[in-house]
Chain A
Amino acid sequence: MKLKKEASAGTMDSCDINIRLENNPLGTTNEIHLKSIVEKQYGDHIRNLISQVIDKYGLESVVVNAVDRGALDCTIKARVESAIQRGLDQAHTLEWSVVHHE
């Protein structure tokens, strides 16, 4: 599946993460570009989390520009998920009762 449009979620405030999604104009691979104040400790962990949410939606060839300010895992997942919903034009049709968080 591909995004219908570019989309963002989250802020650059402390304890949050800002996500910007767009389709990858070249190739079919997903790219994650992360800037984080805790890159050394959690960089790979954050990239994994983002990648998991993208895979859950079956998105292909998406570019993620993420700016992390020390967000918790739940925040990261929620921000990525919101951005995807917006990018798929589903932000207002989301059925919250079936949103599943493992």
Chain B
Amino acid sequence: MIEKTFTKEMGPEDFHWQDILNLIEMNDIKLDPNVEHTFGIFKEDKLLGTASTLSNTIRSIAINSQEKGSNILGELIHEVMQFLYDEGYSNIFIYTKCESAKSFEHIGFYEIERVESKVVLLERKPHGIKNFACYLKSFKTTHDHVGAIVMNGNPFTLGHQYLVEYAASNCDFLYIFVVDSTHTSFPSDDRYKLILSGTSHLDNVYVIKGSDYIISDATFPTYFLKRPEEGTQIQTELDLKIFGHYFAESLNITKRFVGTEPYCGTTSLYNEQMKRILPHYGVEIVEIPRKVFGTDAISASRVRVLLAKGNMKDVKKLVPESTYQYFKTVQGKQVIEKLKDSTSRH
């Protein structure tokens, strides 16, 4: 008789949790510290495989070596996909070692980009990234010197506005890609709208939602951690290769503007990597010193600290009028209330 396998969500309190950690270690990988859910597939009480998720990405996947060649990987990934589809995600990403990429292609995943001998990012939608590149091309301009900024804008400050104005005056046309993440204090849609209204006086600027393909849980999950960790270097490379290969190529972008980053280790590492990688795609990096107010640079984190303290008088000096008005809306007030309870960075 064939014994049926079953998959279940696991946590540190489970009897088999140590088995999960051991299995991952035996496969020469680590349990990604950022994961939200971890699953195990069992036959009776024997652990055959494990996989974890962070938003719509599957990572830290390990299969018992005795099961190689069986269909355990397919069964496990199918269960995890079902979970993610039920959560409402429409595309699913897999982050894995290069030598495992083929196994995932056999179960209907398609490669987006890889960092040779390190990692591969695959997606479930056939042609997902190519379709996105086509979508981008619908915004293509005929200008000669096209620039880009990737912006979180959490929330949009006078510092951001200064960066955008500087960039817009140093190229013919400027695209702003808004980071589409749920890990930020301000919701993605609100950040997008604040960037739109804060840049509406510039007619050579176009704002586009960033999608899953730029600084997202799929391409660069540790962006939202303050300290760079092992793996951050590889993630930044993956993220930037996708930018160069798909974003820059589709829109003919030749300059990417960034603010200097004196405080955050992760972002300054990202900026360094940009200078190393993007020139290969014909993109020049322009670093702009941050606008200063008082003695310190204007940054979104500085604004959030003031918001958390309830110091609206000082906040008003650091943000455009449109952002300030948003703080008075119901939605703005809700975020400020949450900020008062938390201390997260982005």
Residues of A that sit less than 8 Å from B by CB: 6, 8, 11-14, 18, 20, 22, 25-26, 31, 33, 35, 63, 65-67, 69
- The answer to whether A11 touches B75, judged by C-beta atoms less than 8 angstroms apart, is yes
- Cβ 8 A contact of B75, one of A6, A12, A26: A12
List the 5 closest pairs (A to B, CB-CB), nearest first.
A12-B74, A67-B108, A33-B126, A12-B78, A25-B131
- The answer to whether B74 touches A35, judged by C-beta atoms less than 8 angstroms apart, is no
- The answer to whether B75 touches A20, judged by C-beta atoms less than 8 angstroms apart, is no
- The answer to whether B108 touches A65, judged by C-beta atoms less than 8 angstroms apart, is yes
Inter-chain CA distance A13–B74, complex, in Å, is: 7
- The answer to whether A67 touches B124, judged by C-beta atoms less than 8 angstroms apart, is no
From A10, which residue of chain B is reached at the shortest CB distance? B78
- The answer to whether A8 touches B131, judged by C-beta atoms less than 8 angstroms apart, is no
Residues of chain B lying within 8 A (CB to CB) of residue A25: 131, 135
Inter-chain CA distance A69–B78, complex, in Å, is: 13
Quick one: CB contact mask for B93-131 with A, threshold 8 Å, 1 for yes?
000000000000111101000000000000011110001
B325 at the interface (CB under 8 A from A): no
A-B contact count (CB 8 A): 51
- The answer to whether B90 touches A65, judged by C-beta atoms less than 8 angstroms apart, is no
Inter-chain CA distance A18–B131, complex, in Å, is: 23
Residues of chain A lying within 8 A (CB to CB) of residue B127: 31, 63
Residues of chain A lying within 8 A (CB to CB) of residue B166: none
Residues of B that sit less than 8 Å from A by CB: 71, 74-75, 77-78, 81-82, 85, 90, 105-108, 110, 124-127, 131, 134-135
Inter-chain CA distance A26–B129, complex, in Å, is: 12
**In the complex, what's the smallest C-beta–C-beta distance from B88 to chain A, in angstroms?**
10
Residues of chain A lying within 8 A (CB to CB) of residue B126: 31, 33, 63, 65
- The answer to whether A35 touches B107, judged by C-beta atoms less than 8 angstroms apart, is yes
Residues of chain A lying within 8 A (CB to CB) of residue B106: 35, 67
**In the complex, what's the smallest C-beta–C-beta distance from A64 to chain B, in angstroms?**
9
Question: Known: A8-B85, A12-B77, A22-B90. Is A67-B71 also a contact (CB below 8 A)?
Answer: no
